[in-house]
Structure 1
Amino acid sequence: MKPLLLIVAYLVAVTLPLLLSAWVGGPPRQLHQELASGLGILAFSMILVEFILSGRFKAISNDVGMDVTMRFHQIMARTLLVFALLHPFLYQGTPTGGERPWDPTRQLTLTTDFSDLATGIAAYLLLAGLIVMAIGRTQLGYRYETWRLLHGLGALLIAVLLLHHTVYAGRYGSQPVMTWVWLVMTGVAVGSLLMVYLVVPWLQKARPWRVTSVVRLTPKQWEVTVTPDGHDGLDYQAGQFVWLNVGHSTFSMKENPFSMSSAPAGGPEVSFMIKELGDFTRTIGQIKPDTVAYLDGPYGNLTVDGREESGVALIAGGVGLAPLLGILRQMRLTGDSRKVKVIYGNRIINQIAYHEELGDEDVVYVLSEPPEDWHGETGFIDGALMDREFSENEFRDWVFVMCGPAIMMDVVEDHLSTRGTPPQRILAERFSYD
């Protein structure tokens, strides 16, 4: 029901300006001109709501789930881009002659005032560039911190440009009621950005953490543990994640999202399982004990707390073990009576982390490039392996929690659906989103 509520709330928010514009009304125009205005209104309102979807708001990420939220954010970004690209071209065929386009009756949406058109043109180009950069961020090779800064500033600039364009060049946006609607919506969007980049960092200054240990788990995987410095710590559920900032100001862009591999029942210390991938993670081994750190969170709903299923299946690929390890630790520490089975996939044997802690009972290790003396599962985590490890009743009655590479998760999700696992019993969290 929660994803459905998100969709309903989203539709109300993005269609409100469109409905109000229809209520404000105006002299009749040709259908394609009204369609052009409608698409432009929808695109602008969708852009403003995207600020909320991409912001760090627990009411959304914790209730609906980060995976659902980010997928929805991506789909809507692509949709609004199509609306925006079509918007100016649908004005073709506007009748010529008379006092067009400076008609004081505002029968036409276009204007010859270049300053009013220029802001729309600039936003038009920036929007396309912003979405393309987001989709191709990995291929373009941008540092995460650089991309995040450019993405935030680019979205802010687009919102301001479109506000000017809509109010001064738009047929409906120039109406006093609509001008106030756009001002309020833009203010909320910009406010959400300021909340993330200014208010939250300011509040974090009063809740510092200190690094207590940095331990190498495998050749390219580390465990970083932090402890609260002068406060009670973090109230979180096993499986959630935080934005971790180590050794920088709270206002620094150098923070990254990491799932917690520790369990709330284990005490106030919080641990992270981090793989060397990006610019920050390659320097994990250089972090010194007692380095100041800041945590923003918790976020996400990849948790089994309060669920009533008889069993829990934890399916991890590589460093995707992190949040699932936190769940497993919490279940063991609290004496959880539910059955549990772990499927843990890696490429080679020396990538297996926490082997001693995990043990071999109810844990299935999978290697795609196994050594000759390997006696566990080989290949990839796929439908065939799932069928070998889970019964028909388990597919139907257990909750399946997944974290790992997108390909693995897509394959497993599809197979679970074919085996009759209800959608509400499939919990997933991806490493990244295109």
Structure 2
Amino acid sequence: MSTTTLATRPTARPTVRAWWRDAAGLTAWLSALFVVALWVSGRGLQDLTADPVTSAGRLTGLLSADFLLLQLLLMARIPWVERSYGQDELARRHRIAGFTSIALLAAHLVLITLGYAAADRSGVLGELWLLVTTYPGMLLAAAGTAALGLVAATSVRAARRRLRYESWHLLHLYAYLGTGLALPHQLWTGADFTASPVATAFWWTAYAAAAGAVLVFRVGRPVWLNARHRLVVEEVVPEGGGVVSVYLRGRALDRLPVAAGQFCVWRFAGPGRTRGKPYSLSAAPDGHRLRITAKDLGPGSRRLATLPPGTRAFFEGPYGRLTGTVRKGRKLALFASGIGITPLRALLEELPYQAGETVLFQRAGRPADLLFRRELEELAARRGVRIHFLLGRRSRDRASWLPAGYAPVPDEQVLRHLVPDIADHDVYVCGPDTWTAAVLDSARRAGVPADRVHRERFAW
């Protein structure tokens, strides 16, 4: 069986600047404020007194367009934004911006229709039909609205649970179609978009920035990285329990800006090559090859076990901020459950620390389910890591990250007993949502500062 040792060759590492996050957030809020300012400068407040319904409809339409572009930018995979927030936080903000945009769009349609109907002294449905069929670009806008509504409907949590990741991802591409179909209406009939040279410059710049970010970072960058590094499968190693590790080799991997704790969206040549799945690195990148590890959770991950050597691998990324860049101090406490051990195992290998400064908690139902046990014990012996294997069923009476045998002692009390100075540690967590939530609550109660707690989900 192949093993992976400590990195022996310097590799490129992604950098993060502290001000990137603040700059990105400030830009988003300033864009919304600027849109309101444009509405005010276009007699929005005066019209609000004379025709409040139509004026409010104009404002909601402008803000809807702004939030629509913001949600595209949030998931455009802009490297410095992604490294500052992490994919799970960006996905959460993307959903908020998306639902806000759809709500504002619905309000815009209702208010404009009501306002125009009142001005024309016509029925609401008749006015809506007149707007859609006679105003320039409105048929395209209606189709775009339908596409965006489909995206919103499939983004509701209950709907996401019923969809495979690949199906959800394909449906989400309609957001680009909806945005594109809305543009002609905004330019042809949206007076606020062309009311002044400033407004025109702002909206064209905003649309160009969103389109450019998608083309450069969602299309151009992955194409360039894959052409440069040309990853192929070197070997596939069964790890037991339906888990396999895929070793990948390629060109100039020391120049690939990837770090332990990150993940990529992977595709492999052959059947199913259009369906990407996110997998973390399970070993620190050493400049020679990469390793990903996955559990059989469906057709996509099941196919990994059958990949022949030489199969071309395509990737998007790397993504994620569960890396050493978020670390605040010297001491580390890592909590993993199930396949969540993969990024933490890579972090144990890559991050600098002295003997006795790092502790790992690994959760599994039984000893046979402990992934990478031999590798972790070798790392522990070599680098002085304390390991606590948490075996057995969890308590059904309370939300706990500990096996049932630790009840009824509070989780934070057990944590302080096992790691007395836990508040001085950076806490990294990866595992199922409910288990992760229990760890985070326990760490908070044990006194770990919020900025020392690091987690990331493969949110979608």
Do Structure 1 and Structure 2 share a fold, with TM-score over 0.5?
yes
Residue in 2 that maps onto 1:378 = 403
What are the residue-to-residue correspondences of 1:178-197 with 2, within 5 Å?
178-197=199-218
1:356 aligns with 2:370: no
In 1, the alpha carbon distance for the partners of 2:415 and 2:114 equals 63
In 2, the alpha carbon distance for the partners of 1:325 and 1:161 equals 46
1:365 aligns with 2:389: yes
The 8 Å contact of residues 328 and 426 in structure 2, kept in 1 or not, is answered as no
How big is each residue's C-alpha offset from its partner over 1:214-235, in whole Å with a ceiling of 9 and x where there is no partner?
1111221111111223664523
How big is each residue's C-alpha offset from its partner over 1:222-266, in whole Å with a ceiling of 9 and x where there is no partner?
1111122366452322212223232269xx6433322111114x4
Residue in 2 that maps onto 1:319 = 339
In 2, the alpha carbon distance for the partners of 1:277 and 1:98 equals 58
SS of alignment partner, residue 341 of structure 1: strand
Residue in 2 that maps onto 1:79 = 100
Could you tell me which amino acid in structure 2 is paired with residue 403 of structure 1? C
- Select the residue among 278, 281, 292 that pairs with 1:257: 278
How big is each residue's C-alpha offset from its partner over 1:323-381, in whole Å with a ceiling of 9 and x where there is no partner?
101011124xx5645611112223444322111222386222224539xxxxx962499
The 8 Å contact of residues 85 and 124 in structure 1, kept in 2 or not, is answered as no
1:274 aligns with 2:274: no
The 8 Å contact of residues 57 and 107 in structure 2, kept in 1 or not, is answered as yes
Could you tell me which amino acid in structure 2 is paired with residue 288 of structure 1? P
In 1, the alpha carbon distance for the partners of 2:183 and 2:103 equals 19
How big is each residue's C-alpha offset from its partner over 1:381-411, in whole Å with a ceiling of 9 and x where there is no partner?
9993443133586342211111111222223
Higher helix share: 2
In 1, the alpha carbon distance for the partners of 2:27 and 2:180 equals 24
Residue in 2 that maps onto 1:104 = none
Q: Displacement of 1:300 after TM fit?
A: 1.8
Residue in 1 that maps onto 2:125 = none
What are the residue-to-residue correspondences of 1:227-246 with 2, within 5 Å?
227-229=249-251, 232=254, 234-246=256-268
SS of alignment partner, residue 257 of structure 2: coil
Could you tell me which amino acid in structure 2 is paired with residue 353 of structure 1? L
SS of alignment partner, residue 88 of structure 1: helix
Residue in 2 that maps onto 1:105 = none
* Aligned-residue RMSD, C-alpha: 3.3
Residue in 1 that maps onto 2:242 = 220
Determine what percentage of the aligned residue pairs are the same residue: 22
Could you tell me which amino acid in structure 1 is paired with residue 414 of structure 2? R
In 1, the alpha carbon distance for the partners of 2:375 and 2:257 equals 24
Residue in 1 that maps onto 2:40 = 22
Could you tell me which amino acid in structure 2 is paired with residue 404 of structure 1? G
What are the residue-to-residue correspondences of 1:52-201 with 2, within 5 Å?
52-91=73-112, 94=115, 113-135=134-156, 136=158, 138-142=160-164, 144-152=165-173, 154-177=174-197, 178-201=199-222
1:346 aligns with 2:370: no
With 4-13 and 359-368 compared, the bigger mean Cα shift is at: 359-368
The 8 Å contact of residues 95 and 155 in structure 2, kept in 1 or not, is answered as no
Q: Displacement of 1:314 after TM fit?
A: 0.8
Which segments of 5 or more consecutive residues in structure 1 lack a partner in the other structure?
A: 102-109, 371-375
Residue in 1 that maps onto 2:26 = 8
In 2, the alpha carbon distance for the partners of 1:398 and 1:32 equals 55
The structure-2 alpha-carbon separation of the partners of 1:366 and 1:98, relative to structure 1 and needing over 3 Å to count, comes to closer
Residue in 2 that maps onto 1:309 = 329
The 8 Å contact of residues 278 and 458 in structure 2, kept in 1 or not, is answered as no
TM-score of the two chains, using structure 2 as the length reference: 0.79
Q: Displacement of 1:316 after TM fit?
A: 1.2
- Select the residue among 298, 304, 315 that pairs with 1:284: 304
The structure-2 alpha-carbon separation of the partners of 1:390 and 1:358, relative to structure 1 and needing over 3 Å to count, comes to farther
